[in-house]
A and B are shown apart, each in its own frame.
Chain A
Amino acid sequence: PKKQLTLSAFFDQR
């Protein structure tokens, strides 16, 4: 099984 990452792990909140 693979885990789905979210974009918050990569992109900063502005």
Chain B
Amino acid sequence: MFEARLTQGSLLKKVMEAIRELLNEASFDCSENGIQLQAMDNSHVSLVSLNMGSEGFDKFRCDRNLTMGMNLASLSKILKCASNSDAITLKAQDDPDTVTFTFESENNERVSDYSMKLINLDQEHLGIPDTEYSCVVKMPSADFARICKDLSQFGDCITISCTKEGIKFSVAGDIGTGNVKLAQTANVDKESEAVTVEMQEPVSLTFACRYLNHFTKATPLSEQVQLSLSADVPLVVEYKIGEFGHIRYYLAPKIDE
């Protein structure tokens, strides 16, 4: 028996929005530790790694580890039927072929349930090595989203350069070039508005705009985003999910031919 209840059901809706454009389908792995998902996009250029710890659910029971393969377009249809203020409960039997979603309104006067057929997915799992990154930058997530959107108008890829002074995003295209520099903030009133840079070595790497813009669909999950960069390895873009989870996107760099 698997049962997970999240009072703040809007978090699950936001998680869905954060992955549904990148992935067609994905397996949700459930264990007593919580819910995990790892999936690559079709082109194997980016990977989504989602972790929601069991401690973040107000009810969590998982008697046996199980994997639930879901079509994300179908899942999205179901979660769109939940209001932002609803509590969401997921339920499945051991070795399930369906999963049930129950949405309860705040006053419990409206309860709806939807069941969805699960699918068998033969998904490749990748071992992601522990990496000490040369630069780790934390910045407001809305700012990152705006920069990616603005610079995407001018070219297909964005070069991210990081030094101890700050982080620079650059684009070059047919009509010209664009650069956005963010300095490390000295002191800000709100932690959510800070830009912080932890740098061992300066780094400059280039990434496809298309994927960066997909990642920014996670912006409503967290006011801050963390970018981890090292020379010649994939970028990691991380958004926290409340106090109990995260969504990490890995993106392979573009290199000179």
Contacts and interface: CB of A to CB of B under 8 A. Distances in A.
Contact of B255 (A2, A13, A14): A2
B127 A3 contact: no
B67 interface: no
B254 A5 contact: yes
A13 B125 contact: yes
A10 B128 CA distance: 8
A7 B44 contact: yes
B209 to A, nearest CB: 12
Contacts of A8: 44, 126
A13 B126 contact: yes
A2 B234 contact: no
Contact of B257 (A2, A7, A13): A2
Contacts, number: 56
Contacts of A10: 233-234, 252
B127 A5 contact: no
B239 to A, nearest CB: 19
B43 interface: yes
Q: Which range contains the number of A residues in contact with the other chain?
A: 10 to 19
A14 B126 contact: yes
Contacts of A5: 45, 252-255
Nearest to B40: A7
A3 B125 CA distance: 24
A12 to B, nearest CB: 4
A1 B256 CA distance: 7
A6 B157 contact: no
Contacts of A6: 43-45, 252
Given A2-B157, A4-B45, A6-B43, A11 B126 contact: yes
A13 B128 CA distance: 9
Contacts of B206: 2
Contact of A12 (B127, B208, B250, B257): B127
A9 B233 CA distance: 9
B124 A3 contact: no
A7 B127 contact: no
B129 interface: yes
Interface in B77-101: none
9 closest A-B pairs by beta carbon, nearest first, are A2-B254, A11-B126, A5-B252, A6-B44, A12-B127, A14-B125, A14-B127, A3-B257, A7-B252
Interface of A: 1-14
Interface of B: 40, 43-47, 124-129, 157, 206, 208, 233-234, 250, 252-257
Given A2-B255, A12-B127, 20 more contacts: A2-B157, A2-B206, A2-B254, A3-B255, A4-B254, A5-B253, A5-B255, A6-B45, A6-B252, A7-B234, A8-B44, A8-B126, A9-B252, A11-B127, A11-B250, A12-B129, A13-B124, A13-B125, A14-B125, A14-B127
